Structure 1
Amino acid sequence: MFSMTATAVAGDSLDSDREVLLSFKSHLESRNPTERGKYNEWETTEKQDVCHWPGITCTPDKSRVTGISLTDSTISGPLFGNFSALTQLTFLDLSSNTIGGSIPDDLSRCHSLKHLNLSNNIIRGELSLSGLSNLEVLDLSVNKISGDVRSSFPLICNSLVVANLSTNNFSGRIDDVFNECRYLKYVNLRYNRFSGEIWSGFRRLVKFSVSGNRLSGNISASMFRGNCNLQVLDLSGNGFVGEFPGQVSNCQNLNVLDLWGNNFTGNIPAELGSISSLRGLHLGNNMFSRDIPETLLSLSNLVFLGLSRNNFGGDVQEIFGRFTQVKYLVLYGNSYVGGIHSSNILTLPNLSRLDLSYNNFSGRLPAEISQNLTFLILAYNNFSGDIPREYGNMPRLQALDLSSNRLTGSIPASFGKLTSLLWLMLANNSLSGEIPREIGNCSSLLWLNVANNQLSGGLYPELTNMGSNPTPTFEVNRQSEDYIVAGSGECLVMKRWIPAEFPPFIFGLESLTKRSCRSLWDHVREGKCIFPVCPPGSTVGPLDVSGYLQLSGNKMSGEVPANISQMKKLSMLHLGFNEFEGKLPTEIGQLPLVFLNLTRNKFSGQIPREIGNIYNLQNLDLSYNNFSGNFPTSLNDLNEMSKFNISYNPFIHGVIPSRGQLATFGKDSFLGNTLLQLPSFFNQPGNNNTSSGERDNGREEDEDDESAIDMLAFCWSTVLFYVVALIGTLVLIYFDCPWSRAWLRLIDTFMSSLKILDMGDDIVGIDTLDTKAVSKKKTVISWRSRNT
């Protein structure tokens, strides 16, 4: 009899299957009262044919239900506990939902089940599926399942072909778990906590990945004896030691060999050169010998060659310049000092991506370079001199990273021809001159970082066209067929290119491990952003690309143009520590900003109330400027804001609301604004009502307070001196004292010294602020001297 709970309902007819499905529907609806998937269309009337319900499949004669597919159907709560009543169920796919709890014992009684996919949920507990002896495909990836797998394996191995247990919390040993799985072809155990030695029978699989576990020991030659069917072997991110055996050459179908992030030593096996099918060779982050076997040159299908972090040192090996077939060459973190030219790696005809970052290269940047490059990464070296204008002649270039070198000169105007450019990273150099107006022609340029240079000029209207149409570049990346597994340096690149202070990306950085780097990398390259970009006036936005403009720590000046509103994908705008001036355009309120920092400039006029329409704004810093007028209370509507500072804008007046978001920050966000009326509780003893971001800067703000107090004392002493001097002078003149002229000369000398002091502080003050050197005390004094 039908029950609304998970009470057993068994039978051998379509009617009994229908009752079970309706019970399943009731289970789902009770836990998902609002957003519901296609199961919501299952009819309760008997007229509707069950086999036509969305997500349901039946036997050819439509006598029994055999399959349920509710992937990505906004399902939450625990798993349904009566699937076993569907006695002919062979296919169950509930992937990409938010199903929690543990796997119920009932599922182990679905003896006919051949395909089970519960991936991309939040299922916990231990694995217990020992009754599924007919299972062919098992996918439990991206969950939180823990414990040993021995309670289910080898009991479910009779027919198993695919076992994907990746990205869970499984532990224990795997060296003998799969011995009886005769038909097994694909095993993915990545990103778990498995320990001990590796399973020696992996050579009979097609794909085997144990990346990101705690496995150790040697990889012996015996593991590759006999027939080897492997196409992908991924051992990366473990603790394997010793020499890697050349007998891997028995795997003549191998496409990808990933040994990254272990402790392999000795020579790179010369036998690898006989595996003609090899396309990806990941040998980075080991301790291999710097001698590269000549035999590898015969790998005509090799696309990716990664030998980062192997402590090679010296000059780049000459042999790299002869890998004419390679598209991706990754050699970062090797302490190389030279050999870029002599190795000829810069002119490899098929080279698409070259990563030489984190080495010790010096001298001028190479001007002769392959025009086929899409990624050129030379960051964190000691290059000096100008940026070659020839770098503007690479029409396919999508990323140029020259940050953290010793570069001087100007940014070449030829960069305006790089219409496929997504990233331009030039931060932490000594570049000067203006940002060329031609950069506005870079229609794909969403991410520009030129922080901490000596750039001058303005943010010209032409520059606001950058990033206006990145779609063509994204389309090229979506159509790319190159298959390169993780370990290509994505983590290092993403952590460098994602600003740590940018709120939408903080979550990405915190969760950025090798397990997520590749997917995040692909999402960004293909324009599939993982963060919602909310238009002004909205608290909910579609997933879109989040761009940033990072200009802080330069000498840029002028006004912000009103047509900055054209940069519709701009989520981060950092103009701090510059010399921008004038009124902030109201059009800035039309940007989908999450981060806005204008600190230590010369902005004046009223703070645009339109900023209060950017409901997803999380970080707003307008401190150390000359804003004036009435404080816009519309900022109190920014409920997502976690960091806020308008300190030292002394011409702002008005009342700060005692309730709402602004009241959560405390007085440290309003220092130096004597005309502002703050809530009374800000001054109560023990009130530390400051945001976490402001507390981090508490010591610096205390220094500012001390500076302000020192300056106030100095001003009062000066006034008192003037008063006493004036009275004394009048008395002396009145009585015609013989030493009155000496007194007047003393006063004149003192006032001249005051004028010199005032001019000197103005010269070294905020107008020429160097973010790396100038103390805040001198900044406060100079700011006050300029505005008195």
Structure 2
Amino acid sequence: MVFHGRSLIFAAASENSLDTDKEILLNLKSFLLERNPVNIGLYQEWNQTSSNPCNWHGILCSPDRERVTGIDLSDSKITGNMFKNFSALTQLQYLDLSKNTLGGAILDDLNRCHNLVYLNLSYNLFENELNLAGLTSLEKLDLSTNRFHGDLKLSFPAICSKLVVANLSVNNFTGRIDDCFDGCRNLQYLDLSTNNFFGYIWTGFSSLVEFSVSENNVTGPMSASMFVDNCSLLALDLSQNMFQGEVPREISNCMNLIVLNLWGNNFTGSIPSQIGSISTLEALFLGSNSFSRVIPESLLNLKKLASLDLSRNNFGGEIQDIFGRFTQLKSLVLQGNSYSGGINSSGIHRLPNISNLDLSYNNFSGHLPVEISQMPSLKFLILAYNEFIGVIPLEYGNLSQLEALDLSFNRLSGSIPPSLGNLSSLLWLMLAYNSLTGEIPSEIGDCSSLLWINLAYNQLSGAIPDEVTNIGRNATPTFESNRKGYQMFASPSKCLVTDRLLNVDNSPFRSVTTRSWKDCRSKWDQLLRGYGIYSVCAVGSSVRTFEISGYIQLSGNQLTGEVPQDIGKMRNLRMLYLGSNEFYGKLPTEIGNLPLLDLNISWNRFSDKIPEEIGNMRCLRNLDLSCNNFSGAFPMQLSNLNELSKFNISFNPSLSGKIPESGQLATLGKDSFLGNPLLETPSFFNSDDDQHPPTPPPSNSQDEDELGTDGGGVQLEWEALLIGYGCGMVFAVAVVYITFLKGEPKWFLTAVDGIHLWRAKRLQKKNARRRGEQLVDNKQRSLECLQIMLYQWEFKQLQQENDRLKNQNKELKEHKQKLEGQLVEMENFVKAKEQDSSHLEENISSFQQEVSTQIRNNCRAIENLWPEKTEIEKQVRVLQGELASEALKTEELESKIAMLQKRRHQEIQEE
């Protein structure tokens, strides 16, 4: 929402004085200091540098400096409830408490600030129903990004008489909008986006300059009467609601429109050709509807049109050639339209001004067009989730402005072209889930801006070049260029791209998937300008700051060799994923110089000691060192990792030492330490609450989410996993089918929009690449589950053996002999585990070479063992029953003998 400046009209001084205002401000200071003893804002300096409050930071006074008229405490780290005596400042006209963590209800005291003209409470935690009926002088109101709920009728239209700007977005408001704003004669900017409003749209919106009701549950058709001849709208955002029917051609009456956003509704029919007469239009978002595939020729008349989004309309067929004639476009988004064939037929590659081209989630096939390399302005090339084959053209290295290259989830083969090292502005390189081979080219190290690289699940081999540690060493020029010149209207489709580029399946960005479109757009802008969107901390420190967070994702390849020692110089690196490769040797101690949040090096052949320097990563959340050959003592420095939520060191059989019985490591459960016979874990890990060893975390964090693990030892049985996924898929398909059939509920469609697109895409993907990807994933999971099943069976065999030995020695009653017997049992246990560990390494190597065949054979072997186990258990139960029966007979016999003896004794006495 745009806030247009307007000078405040300061009231004359009343009977109250500046001294009275000063006393109230000092009371406010004491109130804030009492509730915020640690994070103290600049208000702590009040009365220290000057006795005149008009000189204090954040205080505004009247022109004659006789009265306090404004307070600005925005972004002052204030928490708790609101101060309850603002009304004592009788001339208060300006109050800004935004960007804090204030909560609770807005106090009635605020309603008595009758002269208040400007009120900004945005980005806090207020959560009551809204009642500001006493603020009849308000001109600008910003309550965005809070937790307000209920309807608006306690405040609107009561405060409407002078209101110009109202931003109520990103809250939990509900109810109908109806006539709440009919009395707002001066209202120009109204933002109701990201709430829970329902019913029909307010018909008076065309009198505004900007209006947004995006991300609500507003329904019904749009009538022609809504768009009057004197429509003054510059920006109209009705996206992500439940509007239906055709878009009225009268929308062209809004001749001054700059932004028109109808994305994510149920609009049908043709795109109105009359839109082509809105000569001022710069951004047109019509994606995620059901428009016909005919694109009006009149849209070519929009000479100022810079952003066009027609994504997810399921156009099908070959891409329309009209798109090659939008020569003025800077952003073209056509993702999720089921296009097939090639790209060149449309002439898109000849558009001279295109900066953002997103053709992802389609069925484009054939080779990647070399002609794309001749698009001089291209910054973002997003071709993921298609059917492209062949090699990545060398000529793509000529795209000097390119900042994001996403070719993931295709069928590309061959090697990564060394020419990509020429892309000095490249921030993202996403080539995951293809069939790329060869080594990672050392020239990638020349990408001085590259901070996010994902090459996972290909067939790359060889060592990581030392030069790779140079990536991202100087991204500042790229970020500075974006801060100065990057101006583009981001569509809601950008959220899907952001999810993939951010790698949101992994921390710290997992929570980002719950954001609104507005927040998504904000995060996107922050990333492009080089601002951190997540708080991180430096090595050896727990103090958090917002800094840019890069990642390297190389999981699921055939990479080998040792990790370069210079990796410790990559100070912008926050996430490192090397799982499921063939790396070996010692993990360099320099890795402890990285302020990592995620570190996953599982399923490799790392050996020697675990670097104790990892304990310096104080903000580390996920650490997976499982399935390697680490040895030596467990480093106690890992006890410093107080923020760990997921930790796995399982199956490093030569690792020894003792895990502390207190601290963060002790809270993670025995699942984190499986398969380490020499490692002494806390005694409470050995409880009998769970007799089945849980499944260890998979090789990357994405699979962790799919398997449903939460890092706290929660176990999903294999059968339950299959049943859960099956039932979930049936339910999801049924709901989506009913939703599209009935046209309701649209709120649910919005909530599962990304999931629906993904599932629909999976149904469309019927090629060998997609099946191969699923096979690799299934093989990996089957391998892990098979390993656990083998360990579970061996564990039960050891239990049976232990019981047998105990039965043989039950006649030995002296304590010393019992201890000696237990010692022998422990020695046998350790030897068996050492043999198991040796077999484990051989089995892993064998599994990696012929995984499918070996899995089938081992599964059959296991299936054959289960009947034997069942039969043994049956025999044990029979023997137990027989033993109980014999015991009962013995008792009866003893009873009869006793009776006979008693009778004999009586007979003797009688004689």
Q: Same fold (TM over 0.5)?
A: yes
Q: Which among 707, 721, 741 is matched to residue 790 of structure 2?
A: 707
**Residue identity in the other structure for 2:434:** N
Give the distance between the partners of 2:533 and 2:379, measured in 1 at CA. Answer: 23
- In structure 1, the residue matched to 2:174 is 171
Answering whether residue 276 of structure 2 is matched by residue 273 of structure 1, we say yes
The answer on whether the counterparts of 1:596 and 1:619 sit within 8 Å (CA) in structure 2 is: yes
1:528-575: CA deviation from partner (whole Å, max 9, x where unpaired): 112223222111232111111111111110111111111111111111
The answer on whether the counterparts of 1:215 and 1:238 sit within 8 Å (CA) in structure 2 is: yes
TM-score relative to the length of structure 1: 0.88
Give the distance between the partners of 1:42 and 1:535, measured in 2 at CA. Answer: 33
Give the distance between the partners of 2:323 and 2:390, measured in 1 at CA. Answer: 26
Q: Which among 248, 258, 261 is matched to residue 258 of structure 1?
A: 261
The answer on whether the counterparts of 2:597 and 2:620 sit within 8 Å (CA) in structure 1 is: yes
How far residue 363 of structure 1 moved from its aligned partner, in angstroms, is: 1.3
- In structure 2, the residue matched to 1:732 is none
- In structure 1, the residue matched to 2:711 is 693
**Residue identity in the other structure for 1:399:** A
The answer on whether the counterparts of 1:761 and 1:778 sit within 8 Å (CA) in structure 2 is: no
Answering whether residue 68 of structure 2 is matched by residue 65 of structure 1, we say yes
Q: Which among 579, 582, 587 is matched to residue 582 of structure 2?
A: 579
TM-score relative to the length of structure 2: 0.76
The answer on whether the counterparts of 1:656 and 1:676 sit within 8 Å (CA) in structure 2 is: yes
Alignment of 1:450-599 (within 5 A): 450-487=455-492, 489-509=493-513, 511-599=514-602
**Change over 3 Å in CA distance of 1:655–1:79 after alignment to 2:** closer
1:222-253: CA deviation from partner (whole Å, max 9, x where unpaired): 11122121110111111111111122222221
**Change over 3 Å in CA distance of 1:662–1:130 after alignment to 2:** closer
The answer on whether the counterparts of 2:309 and 2:491 sit within 8 Å (CA) in structure 1 is: no
**Residue identity in the other structure for 1:266:** G
Alignment of 1:241-390 (within 5 A): 241-369=244-372, 370-390=375-395
The answer on whether the counterparts of 1:486 and 1:517 sit within 8 Å (CA) in structure 2 is: no
How far residue 313 of structure 1 moved from its aligned partner, in angstroms, is: 0.3
**Residue identity in the other structure for 1:280:** A
Give the distance between the partners of 2:404 and 2:858, measured in 1 at CA. Answer: 39
Answering whether residue 28 of structure 2 is matched by residue 24 of structure 1, we say yes
- In structure 2, the residue matched to 1:78 is 81
**Residue identity in the other structure for 1:529:** G
**Residue identity in the other structure for 2:429:** L
Give the distance between the partners of 1:516 and 1:774, measured in 2 at CA. Answer: 48
The answer on whether the counterparts of 2:229 and 2:254 sit within 8 Å (CA) in structure 1 is: no
The answer on whether the counterparts of 2:126 and 2:148 sit within 8 Å (CA) in structure 1 is: yes
Q: Any stretches of 5+ residues in structure 2 without a counterpart?
A: 1-13, 695-708, 719-783, 799-838, 862-911
Answering whether residue 219 of structure 2 is matched by residue 216 of structure 1, we say yes
Give the distance between the partners of 2:23 and 2:844, measured in 1 at CA. Answer: 84
Give the distance between the partners of 1:597 and 1:778, measured in 2 at CA. Answer: 28
Answering whether residue 658 of structure 2 is matched by residue 655 of structure 1, we say yes
Give the distance between the partners of 1:541 and 1:169, measured in 2 at CA. Answer: 30
How far residue 503 of structure 1 moved from its aligned partner, in angstroms, is: 2.1
Alignment of 1:99-118 (within 5 A): 99-118=102-121
Give the distance between the partners of 2:611 and 2:551, measured in 1 at CA. Answer: 21
**Residue identity in the other structure for 1:556:** L
Give the distance between the partners of 2:420 and 2:179, measured in 1 at CA. Answer: 57
- In structure 2, the residue matched to 1:728 is none
**Change over 3 Å in CA distance of 1:486–1:348 after alignment to 2:** closer
Q: Any stretches of 5+ residues in structure 1 without a counterpart?
A: 1-9, 716-757, 782-788
The answer on whether the counterparts of 1:579 and 1:767 sit within 8 Å (CA) in structure 2 is: no
Alignment of 1:110-129 (within 5 A): 110-129=113-132
Answering whether residue 155 of structure 2 is matched by residue 152 of structure 1, we say yes
The answer on whether the counterparts of 1:555 and 1:768 sit within 8 Å (CA) in structure 2 is: no
Moved more, 242-251 or 403-412: 242-251
1:108-163: CA deviation from partner (whole Å, max 9, x where unpaired): 22221111111111111111111222211111111111111122211211111111
**Change over 3 Å in CA distance of 1:25–1:777 after alignment to 2:** farther
1:78-124: CA deviation from partner (whole Å, max 9, x where unpaired): 22222222222211111111111111222222221111111111111
SS at match of 1:342: helix
Give the distance between the partners of 1:512 and 1:179, measured in 2 at CA. Answer: 31
Answering whether residue 287 of structure 2 is matched by residue 204 of structure 1, we say no
**Change over 3 Å in CA distance of 1:614–1:775 after alignment to 2:** farther
**Change over 3 Å in CA distance of 1:773–1:359 after alignment to 2:** farther
How far residue 639 of structure 1 moved from its aligned partner, in angstroms, is: 1.4
The answer on whether the counterparts of 1:535 and 1:590 sit within 8 Å (CA) in structure 2 is: no
The answer on whether the counterparts of 1:195 and 1:214 sit within 8 Å (CA) in structure 2 is: yes
**Change over 3 Å in CA distance of 1:622–1:402 after alignment to 2:** same
**Change over 3 Å in CA distance of 1:667–1:21 after alignment to 2:** closer
Give the distance between the partners of 2:194 and 2:788, measured in 1 at CA. Answer: 50
Give the distance between the partners of 1:673 and 1:20, measured in 2 at CA. Answer: 65
SS at match of 2:332: strand
Answering whether residue 197 of structure 2 is matched by residue 190 of structure 1, we say no
- In structure 1, the residue matched to 2:398 is 393
The answer on whether the counterparts of 1:353 and 1:375 sit within 8 Å (CA) in structure 2 is: yes
How far residue 682 of structure 1 moved from its aligned partner, in angstroms, is: 2.4
The answer on whether the counterparts of 2:526 and 2:532 sit within 8 Å (CA) in structure 1 is: yes
Answering whether residue 37 of structure 2 is matched by residue 33 of structure 1, we say yes
Give the distance between the partners of 1:590 and 1:80, measured in 2 at CA. Answer: 45
Give the distance between the partners of 1:163 and 1:321, measured in 2 at CA. Answer: 41
The answer on whether the counterparts of 2:145 and 2:171 sit within 8 Å (CA) in structure 1 is: yes
Residue-pair matches, total: 727
SS at match of 2:509: helix
Give the distance between the partners of 1:15 and 1:175, measured in 2 at CA. Answer: 46
**Residue identity in the other structure for 2:592:** G
SS at match of 1:503: coil
Moved more, 608-617 or 412-421: 608-617
**How many percent of aligned residue pairs carry the same amino acid?**
57
**Change over 3 Å in CA distance of 1:388–1:205 after alignment to 2:** same
How far residue 476 of structure 1 moved from its aligned partner, in angstroms, is: 1.5
**Residue identity in the other structure for 1:389:** L
Give the distance between the partners of 2:388 and 2:267, measured in 1 at CA. Answer: 32
How far residue 626 of structure 1 moved from its aligned partner, in angstroms, is: 1.6
**Change over 3 Å in CA distance of 1:563–1:270 after alignment to 2:** same
The answer on whether the counterparts of 1:221 and 1:245 sit within 8 Å (CA) in structure 2 is: yes
**Change over 3 Å in CA distance of 1:698–1:293 after alignment to 2:** closer
Moved more, 117-126 or 49-58: 49-58
The answer on whether the counterparts of 1:704 and 1:777 sit within 8 Å (CA) in structure 2 is: no
**Residue identity in the other structure for 2:533:** I
**Residue identity in the other structure for 2:713:** R
How far residue 492 of structure 1 moved from its aligned partner, in angstroms, is: 0.6
**Change over 3 Å in CA distance of 1:706–1:226 after alignment to 2:** closer
Moved more, 196-205 or 275-284: 196-205
Give the distance between the partners of 1:253 and 1:55, measured in 2 at CA. Answer: 38
**Change over 3 Å in CA distance of 1:714–1:67 after alignment to 2:** closer
How far residue 681 of structure 1 moved from its aligned partner, in angstroms, is: 2.8
Give the distance between the partners of 1:422 and 1:769, measured in 2 at CA. Answer: 38
The answer on whether the counterparts of 2:668 and 2:713 sit within 8 Å (CA) in structure 1 is: no
